[in-house]
């Protein structure tokens, strides 16, 4: 889960960990909330999707920030985040 702006070093660190997890053959679900919703269009995130990551982003956060929503992202709410958390073996959060 990413909650920090795409310009943050923590965002970059989260992306790097997701890349490494994909290389190890792990299933990666990435959920962007708060300031991280602006990063849903980031090219680093797009490469993660192309490599097999599942990207979700907070629809409400995008609406509050007046960000465009595109079809490469699954826009959802906190109930989806709750389901993702419940179904994961390991959760990392960067905020």
Residues 6 or more apart whose Cβ sits within 8 Å of residue 67: 37, 38, 40
This prediction has a pTM of 0.87
Q: What is the pLDDT along the chain (95 residues), one digit of tens a residue?
A: 999 999 999 999 999 999 999 999 999 999 999 999 999 989 999 999 999 999 999 999 999 999 988 888 899 988 888 888 888 888 888 88
């Amino acid at each position: 889960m990413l909650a920090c702006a795409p310009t943050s070093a923590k965002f970059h660190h989260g992306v790097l960990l997701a890349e490494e997890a994909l290389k190890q053959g792990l299933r990666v679900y990435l959920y962007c909330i708060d300031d991280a919703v602006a990063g849903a269009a980031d090219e680093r995130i797009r490469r993660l999707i192309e490599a097999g990551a599942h990207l979700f982003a907070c629809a409400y956060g995008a609406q509050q920030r007046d960000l465009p929503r595109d079809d490469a992202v699954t826009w959802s709410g906190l109930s989806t985040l709750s389901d993702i958390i419940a179904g994961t073996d390991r959760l990392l959060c960067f905020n």
